[in-house]
A = this chain, B = another copy of it.
């Protein structure tokens, strides 16, 4: 299998982290996250959104969207609950991540750290993303206060999906000091046997 990958992308990291836990073998092809001019040539026909991660399976079938790739490999593993309601809760957090959390935390991080552009260029738009990011972190903190994992009593795809950009939130200018439950949960995810860091 071939993973069109960006090493700094949290969305790609989700896939790499699950694959590490499951012992899935694959190759990587690194894709530029700042210069996207070759995306139609590279990913056209493979992923309607022309984004990474894009996974090409043995046999040539391709799949985009980190959440969909996680689901394909997570189903039947310990990372997807056997209970139907818990499965839906896992997806609730994965959709929350893509709608509320990632567009704030990941985009702020990209602008400030990986875009190669001066911060001033984003000055107009950054405050809105920062506020949205803190709202997402507030929601995460409220939910994790008193819980070990996001859903049920074991780590699931939801934890993998939310971990990816939360654990590098500081690169987008977010302070996690006021989120003790989030910080303890980040430590738990990182302490799971089989864990790999984002730069691995």
Contacts and interface: CB of A to CB of B under 8 A. Distances in A.
A88 interface: yes
Interface size class on chain A is 35 or more
Contacts of A48: 93, 96, 139-140, 142-143
Given A48-B142, A100-B49, A143-B48, A67 B84 contact: no
A175 to B, nearest CB: 20
Contacts of A67: 91, 95
Contact of A89 (B68, B103, B143): B68
A6 interface: no
A58 to B, nearest CB: 12
Enumerate the 9 nearest inter-chain pairs by beta-carbon distance, A residue then B residue, closest first: A72-B88, A68-B92, A48-B139, A65-B95, A68-B91, A65-B92, A67-B95, A68-B88, A98-B99
A183 interface: no
Nearest to A69: B88
A85 B93 CA distance: 21
A64 interface: yes
Interface of A: 48-50, 57, 61, 63-69, 71-72, 75, 84-85, 87-89, 91-96, 98-100, 102-103, 139-140, 142-143
B96 A64 contact: yes
Contacts of A100: 49
Contacts of A92: 63-65, 68
Nearest to A140: B48
